[in-house]
Amino acid sequence: MRIHWIVWGMIIGLLGPQGTYSQKAANQLDIHARLKYFDDLEDVIGSVLAGDVDCSILPIENSLEGSIGITLDALKEHDITITGEIIVPIRHCLLSKGHMEDVKIILSHPQGLAQCRRFIRTHFKNARTQTTGSTSHAAKLTSEFPEMAAIASRESALHYGLDILADDIQDHKENYTRFVVLGKQMPEPTGHDKTSIIIHLGQDRPGVLYDLLGEFASRNINLTKIESRPSKLGLGDYLFYIDMEGHQSDTRLKDALKGIENLADQIKVIGSYPMGIRKIA
């Protein structure tokens, strides 16, 4: 996939250190940009808000473990826009300087540990697990101690000089993470776009969500995702994150957004951008 406005010399912020799946997402853009690494996702978000980078790449959902709350919250709370998406196949490996029988501690990002629960339970029932800020950070720490192992990418093994003790260890083989490119410039329509919005329903009544969805159905707009998330305004109060096919400049989509204005007290368009292409591992 190519996001057409990302050009040579731009600075892209992402989770580090080198070897993360975020870096793999950046590499799929097929561009020559400078990558700037940060210790956690909040710092990645802060970098684009402060203008320290031209755009940033963050995970927004995983096919096994669901949505990434930090990213969703940032899109609600800040003036940033989804300008593209990248679908990355996740193929976890167990990396270490030691042997399988030496492993006492397994490190990874919480998502990495969660996606490999069955493998850990089957092969390392007595090992201790420890979370890190990223899978590549786990690999970097593991490179110093033979009793440690990291759940990380094959690229991390090469980068940090680790052996691959086991390959493709995620509990389900169809494991993908959707990354979004965040910036402040809305891309022009490409004819193969997706639009993402956040809605807060002003009045809770029977059938209100049905009426809202009907505005899209009646215009033959395909919704690719709908998810509720606490609004943080009170127990039982929710926001709806909705992804749909089309660009916000499309007539049908503009009419649908106009049609739901009387059903919601908040509508925020958080991006219209080229659809991501799923890469083969």
Which CATH fold topology does 194-273 show?
Answer: Alpha-Beta Plaits (3.30.70)
Q: Quick one: 99-166 is in which CATH superfamily? A: Periplasmic binding protein-like II (3.40.190.10)
Q: Pick the range with the lowest mean pLDDT from 25-34, 36-45, 87-96, 130-139.
A: 25-34
Amino acid 7: pLDDT: 56
pLDDT at 64 over 90: no
Residues 6+ apart with CB under 8 A from 27: none
- Which pTM was predicted? 0.87
Amino acid 1: pLDDT: 43
Per residue in 139-180, pLDDT (tens digit) is 999 988 899 999 999 999 999 999 999 999 999 988 999 999
At 115, the pLDDT band (50, 70, 90 cuts) reads very high
**Total Cβ atoms within 10 A of residue 194:** 21
CATH of 11-90+175-183, one of 3.30.2350.10, 3.40.50.300, 3.40.190.10, 3.30.70.580: 3.40.190.10
Per residue in 231-250, pLDDT (tens digit) is 888 888 889 999 999 999 99
Give 101's DSSP letter. G
Burial of 226 (0-12, 13-18, 19+ CB in 10 A): middle
Are the folds of 11-90+175-183 and 194-273 the same?
no
Question: What is the rounded distance in angstroms from the CA atom of residue 20 to the CA atom of residue 271?
Answer: 25
High-pLDDT (> 90) share of the chain, %: 72
Average pLDDT over residues 107-132: 94
Average pLDDT over residues 52-75: 93
Provide the annotated active-site residues: 177, 179
Question: What is the rounded distance in angstroms from the CA atom of residue 143 to the CA atom of residue 162?
Answer: 6
Question: What is the rounded distance in angstroms from the CA atom of residue 136 to the CA atom of residue 142?
Answer: 10
Question: What is the rounded distance in angstroms from the CA atom of residue 229 to the CA atom of residue 76?
Answer: 11
- Beta strands 93-96 and 148-152 are antiparallel
